Chains A and B, each alone.
Chain A
């Protein structure tokens, strides 16, 4: 910064998710092309774009399943490629598939995932979550007898069992009825203090819960109402004042 320059930056919380120069190719297909953005703490971001725009690839990178080879991604200050364990401790993921064991009961599923996250005494948390998603009375039924909607409710509980501070959701509304959509909003999309990045095709619902949008097209960000303004514009302003 040169002496006398004026940096005009809106007051905003420090970014929790930072993506810089992220690119990814699968053979001749470019899935992500120089993607960059920042998500402030507590923001609820809708990730929009047509099929094949790169939304799922971006989420897979953020959740450490496909660590970046080109570019850099940090979540809560931890590099996704170098400190995957620290990142995973802080994120909850809800995807197309519920990612629960069909032959375990709802209770056993949550107990297993709690132990997997190192939570040794999570009974109260598990009961709270099963009651919240409406599965407490059915806690001893195997997941395979649950309907698609109840599978997704169980998946919500799974994603929240370790109390993540960042939620990464890939089309979370799929297969949910009105009641379950309300649950999704209350527990995840509008939960206080949680940063949310959710890929969705439900543009009609985005205004209900999001604080900003990122629009992807052919692997590039074409609209970003989330990241703070880049320093380029303030510098031009500073030049005008000089």
Chain B
């Protein structure tokens, strides 16, 4: 656990000092939401059915940009090898990187939800939607961290979006449907949130188990 917290603290410190990767991911997210807000006729149409797709497309691509940056910096400075030379279990290294990515992406998502609430005139900062966002992001970050490791280790960062998107399809479907339920006020205990939680759990656990295999040359 010491190694996990050390990596989390270090990544958050670097996230604050470097900012470029996360600022560009946040700027991308803001531009996406603003563009969609101009595309919809807010005066006459109910945009609620469209918002789940808008939100998760935004989260998805902002996450790809941010997590890819996180590992490319490590690779450029050779520090990823330094992490791998530590005696800590590989899964502890993975957990540290994934937690840092999770914190960064949740911050961007909070910003998007605030911006979306204003632009779409729909209250997005409601507990159930926040729960869906957190649960879905855990699974997404779990997979994205593993695949961005693959991109960094194999020096093929372009692989990240190509590999990430097909693997995320089940999780994204569940996330979009659960978000739709949250926005429409469907009764609690709706199945999509449960399904999303299951996908997220297994994505995170599976990625942690696969991480040692990915980092070995």
Check B13–A86 contact: CB distance below 8 A.
no
Give the dominant DSSP class at B's interface: helix
Find the residue from A63, A100, A101 having the highest chain B CB count within 10 A: A101
Whether B6 and A99, one on each chain, are in contact in the complex, defined by CB atoms closer than 8 angstroms, is no
B55 sits at the interface (CB 8 A): no
Q: How many A-B residue pairs have CB under 8 A?
A: 74
Interface contact A116-B88, CB-CB below 8 Å? yes
Task: Using A88-B87, A112-B6 as known contacts, say yes or no to A99 and B13 having CB atoms under 8 A apart.
Answer: no
A116–B79 touching, CB < 8 Å: no
Residues of B within 8 A of A66 (CB): 216-217
- The answer to whether A65 and B78 have CB atoms under 8 Å apart is no
- Name which of A90-98, A176-184, A222-230 contacts chain B: A90-98
Residue of A nearest to B16 (CB): A103
B14 to chain A, nearest CB (A): 6
Contact indicator A65/B81 (Cβ below 8 Å): yes
Measured in the bound complex, the distance between the Cα atoms of B77 and A96 in whole Å is 11
Cα(A102)–Cα(B79), bound, Å = 10
A19 at the interface (CB under 8 A from B): no
| Complex Cα gap A121–B175 (Å) | 44
Contact status of A99 and B14, CB under 8 A, knowing A60-B217, A117-B87, A118-B87: no
Query: Is the beta-carbon distance between A120 and B85 smaller than 8 angstroms?
Result: no
Cα A52 to Cα B196 with chains together (Å): 50
The count of residues in chain A whose C-beta lies closer than 8 Å to any C-beta of chain B is: 31
Q: Is the CB of A101 within 8 A of B14?
A: yes
Q: Specify which of A67, A85, A99, A116 is in contact with B81 (CB 8 Å cutoff).
A: A99
Interface SS of chain A: helix, strand, loop or mixed? loop
Contact pattern, A 42-64, Cβ under 8 Å of B = 1, otherwise 0: 00000000000000000010011
Complex: A113 Cα to B93 Cα, angstroms: 13
Give the distance to chain B from A155, nearest Cβ to Cβ, in Å: 9
A103 touches B79 (CB 8 A): no
- In chain A, what residue has the closest Cβ to B14? A103
Judging by beta carbons under 8 Å apart, are A116 and B78 in contact? no
Chain B nearest CB: distance from A170 CB in Å? 11
Interface contact B77-A97, CB-CB below 8 Å: yes
Contacts of B162 in A (CB 8 A): none
Whether the Cβ atoms of A67 and B216 lie closer than 8 Å is: yes
A187 at the binding interface (Cβ < 8 Å): no
* Complexed CA–CA distance, A100 and B82 (Å): 8
Contact of A97 with B85 in the complex, beta carbons under 8 Å: no
Would you list 17 pairs from A and B whose C-beta atoms are within 8 A, ordered by A residue? A64-B84, A65-B81, A65-B217, A67-B216, A88-B85, A88-B86, A89-B87, A96-B78, A99-B78, A99-B82, A101-B10, A108-B10, A113-B82, A115-B2, A116-B6, A116-B86, A116-B88
Binding site for A on B (CB under 8 A): 2-3, 5-7, 9-10, 13-14, 17-18, 77-79, 81-89, 216-217
New A-B contacts (4) at CB < 8 Å, excluding given A103-B14, A118-B87 = A85-B89, A88-B86, A104-B10, A113-B82
Q: List the 8 shortest-distance A-B pairs measured between CB atoms, nearest first.
A: A97-B78, A115-B6, A99-B82, A89-B87, A66-B217, A88-B87, A116-B86, A99-B78
